[in-house]
């Protein structure tokens, strides 16, 4: 008899709302990935720039080279 009472008091799904709940924990995950990604980009950009300049040194002509032309 207890089983029949428990089964009759169960709730029903009345509606399904599609979309994002701004108070859910998934928003916290999105913000975390944005912060980690922005930090990684901010660190990698100067490192890549330094590597590019290190591999290709600037050519500076000496003043003697201008006199020879």
pLDDT above 90 for 68 = no
What is the C-alpha separation between 41 and 49, in angstroms, rounded?
12
Segment 3-60, tens digit of pLDDT:
555 556 778 888 887 776 666 666 677 788 899 999 999 999 999 999 888 866 667 7
CB 12 within 8 A of CB 19: no
Q: What is the pLDDT of residue 10?
A: 78
Q: What is the pLDDT of residue 12?
A: 87
Question: How far from the centroid of its chain's Cα atoms is residue 69's Cα?
Answer: 54
Q: Where are the alpha helices (DSSP H) in 1-69?
A: 2-8, 25-55, 63-68
pTM: predicted TM-score of the whole model, two decimal places: 0.42
Segment 38-47, tens digit of pLDDT:
999 999 999 9
Query: What residue segments make up the domains of the chain, in order of their start?
Result: 24-58
For residue 24, what is the DSSP state? S
């Amino acid at each position: 008899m207890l089983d029949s009472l428990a089964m009759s008091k169960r709730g029903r799904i009345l509606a399904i709302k599609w979309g994002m709940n701004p108070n859910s924990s998934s928003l916290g995950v999105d913000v975390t990935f944005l912060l980690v990604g922005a930090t990684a980009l901010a660190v990698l950009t100067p490192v890549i720039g330094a590597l590019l300049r290190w591999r290709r040194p600037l050519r500076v002509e000496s003043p003697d080279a201008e006199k020879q032309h």
